[in-house]
Structure 1
Amino acid sequence: MNPILDVQNLTVSFKDKKSKEIIQVVNDVSFQVQQGEIFGLLGPNGAGKSSIIRMICGLLKPESGNVFINGVNHQNRVKSLQYISAVLEGNRNLYWRMTVQENISYFAGNRGMQFKEIRDQVDEWLHLFGLEEKKSELVGNLSRGMQQKVAIIVALCLNTKVILLDEPTLGLDVKTTNDLKKILVKIREEFEKTVIISTHDMKLVEEICERVVIIDRGKKIVEDTVEKLMKLFQIKSYVLSVKGGQIPIKKMDSIVKQFPEFSYDGTIGSYTVDISDSTSFYTFIELLKKEALYIESIQPARLDFERIFTILCERDQADVVHV
């Protein structure tokens, strides 16, 4: 199956304004997104995600590498960008002094579409997002959550195969975030759109993304399914309850020296340790015994994706993690 988005060996550098040093912000990054999936583009702040998004959207020219959207090379920029629409982070996606309908009409017009051509579709999206009564409202008068919904509706009304959303849940309350999750799944399942999400909301990733790519320091460190990454780390993290409560600091120091990923969670009154293999596990148990620390219970931890994301980024590998 040919990917709907094929990012090939993207590289780009910038000159630091103060030091005049050349900084490589994206270094030979490649990944693929398949038709109809919800895909996560992840990374810590400063990892190079924004530059990758800008190159995908044709807003930044790479020094080397290429982007294919629906099989069309970015060198044919006008044609390739017909297949993707984006909602970028912040409030840069809409005109606040225009109504909801005027915004949709304006951006559709930029793509050569007349509003009357998409009127029925607009009404459908407004109904789905619960914004029918806001059609004639100035966007600047809407809540942050409603503005985000309108921006997504604009992207959807452009009838592109790919929707790229940069921090779609930023600043949204819990209810609006949950509503948005359901809508994004519906967009994929019922309208056969491919959704790419760049976000720091790891709960969103865990709940709706099928695959992810993680970028750190300009390099790809992993590309795989969320399910496989969850399984990979599930068996390597354990939660322990120790008799007598919290471990004395002196004893903690000796444990942390051998097992740096050993920490106390005061909210649940237990310790969590990451162990790479079975041999290390038995070494850990012997160490507890040596320190006269007695375990009341030990069980595999159920890691959330935020923890997995942190583990991968902390490794800070130069090469791709193979899983």
Structure 2
Amino acid sequence: MTSDQYAAATRSPTDTDVERPADRSTEPAAIAVEGLTKRFGSGDDPVTAVDDVSLRIDPGSVVGLLGPNGAGKTTTIKSILGMVLPDAGTVRIQGVDVAEAPRQAYARVDAMLEGARNDYWRLTVRENLRYFATIGGVAPDSVADRHDRLLDQFGLAEKADVPVRNLSRGMKQKVSLASVLASDADVVFLDEPTLGLDVESSLTLRRELRRIVEERGLTAVISSHDMDVVEAVCDRVVIMNDGRIVADDTVANLRQGFETSAFRLTSPDLDADTLATVRDRFDVTDATTREGTTTLEVATDSDGFYELTALLRERNVTLASVATVEPDLEDVFVELTGENETGHDGGDSR
């Protein structure tokens, strides 16, 4: 499904049955971007990294920004943060034009950017939190309780007095995130917040990040290659490709725009010959055998499913279970961009 087909699908009458977030269009936007454009290079062949992007993010919402490497995510974020000067367009943060009053616009904004050293490694964990609260305009003693909670929430309490340079990569990542949340920022940008974390730490971070955002009413923009993080934490997802926004909706609505096109079948009767025949006639996307039971995932439509079950019946294959494979955010992403986002190769080049 192309982005145009997605747009058509999501305008269907069934949308009236979908629960959408409350309309907050009358409230001042936490972030408002209009016609943002950025080109690199000159002459006859400049590269357009961001192409006429417009975006509104309401206060208190958590928005995931996705796109393959080179899609323009990083340039968009840096343009919003004033780190890159766009060629056209406007950016307003909490109603303040960043070009006209940058100090006022960014007074309550913080960011954790991938590839940047977000902490001072000679300082301890707690000293980093106090330092970043201070430069954010907050007396660190007044938010000491907040810092204690952050240390507990991210599993850093036992390392509070350890210099950051002595921590593991995953711990340093946690310190970076805690430092962003240590001040009174209303708007935060988090680029790859779970990079370098093990599975358990990533799950903890998702849970605690969502809790912190809700408790403090933060507006957060999260750019990540980890689809599970985006699905678990974000209210809404913006997908970019080739410098443009190709989708902007809730995860549920994005998934609803794509019909189920795969089935998972489990059977103890699938011998090698039958499995080879199924592979020859159908698109088998996965096949695993454990303790004599084989599980197949087959990409096909309903007509193909009936053909498959007829074939298995002819071969006297008894099915232990049959389930549809619902599209997830990864499937939506691949359909819209033609890219697989499960791997991470170091960030968006644009």
List structure 1 segments (4+ residues) > 4 angstroms apart after TM superposition.
240-243, 284-289, 292-299
Which string of whole-angstrom CA distances, capped at 9 and with x for unpartnered residues, describes residues 239-293 of structure 1? 16598223367x54xx7xxxxxx44312364243265xxxxx54x469879xx94
Unaligned runs of 5+ in 2: 1-23, 289-293, 340-350
- Report percent identity of matched pairs: 37
**Normalising by structure 1, what TM-score?**
0.81
2:285 to 264, 285, 288: 264
Query: What is the correspondence of 1:1-323 to structure 2 with a 5 Å cutoff?
Result: 1=24, 2=27, 3-15=29-41, 21-75=45-99, 76-233=101-258, 235-239=259-263, 241=265, 244-247=274-277, 251-252=280-281, 262-267=283-288, 269-273=295-299, 275=301, 281-282=302-303, 284=304, 293=311, 299-314=323-338
The alignment partner of 2:338 has SS state of helix
The alignment partner of 1:98 has SS state of coil
- The match for 1:319 is none
Task: Specify whether residues 288 and 159 from structure 1 end up closer, same or farther in structure 2 by C-alpha distance, changes over 3 A only.
Answer: same
- Output the amino acid matched with 2:108: Y
- Output the amino acid matched with 1:205: V
CA–CA separation in structure 2 for the residues paired with 1:88 and 1:222: 23
Task: Specify whether residues 118 and 274 from structure 1 end up closer, same or farther in structure 2 by C-alpha distance, changes over 3 A only.
Answer: same
Q: How many residues align?
A: 295
**1:31 offset after TM fit, Å?**
1.9
- Output the amino acid matched with 2:217: E
Unaligned runs of 5+ in 1: 256-261, 276-280, 316-323
CA–CA separation in structure 2 for the residues paired with 1:65 and 1:10: 4
**1:40 offset after TM fit, Å?**
0.4
**1:30 offset after TM fit, Å?**
1.7
The answer as to whether partners of 1:210 and 1:227 remain within 8 angstroms in 2 is: no
The answer as to whether partners of 2:34 and 2:89 remain within 8 angstroms in 1 is: yes
The answer as to whether partners of 2:260 and 2:326 remain within 8 angstroms in 1 is: no
**Normalising by structure 2, what TM-score?**
0.75
CA–CA separation in structure 1 for the residues paired with 2:47 and 2:65: 21
CA–CA separation in structure 2 for the residues paired with 1:228 and 1:167: 24
Task: Specify whether residues 248 and 146 from structure 1 end up closer, same or farther in structure 2 by C-alpha distance, changes over 3 A only.
Answer: closer
CA–CA separation in structure 1 for the residues paired with 2:161 and 2:114: 24
The answer as to whether partners of 1:245 and 1:269 remain within 8 angstroms in 2 is: no
The answer as to whether partners of 1:31 and 1:223 remain within 8 angstroms in 2 is: no
- The match for 2:3 is none
Question: In angstroms, what is the RMSD of aligned CA positions?
Answer: 2.8
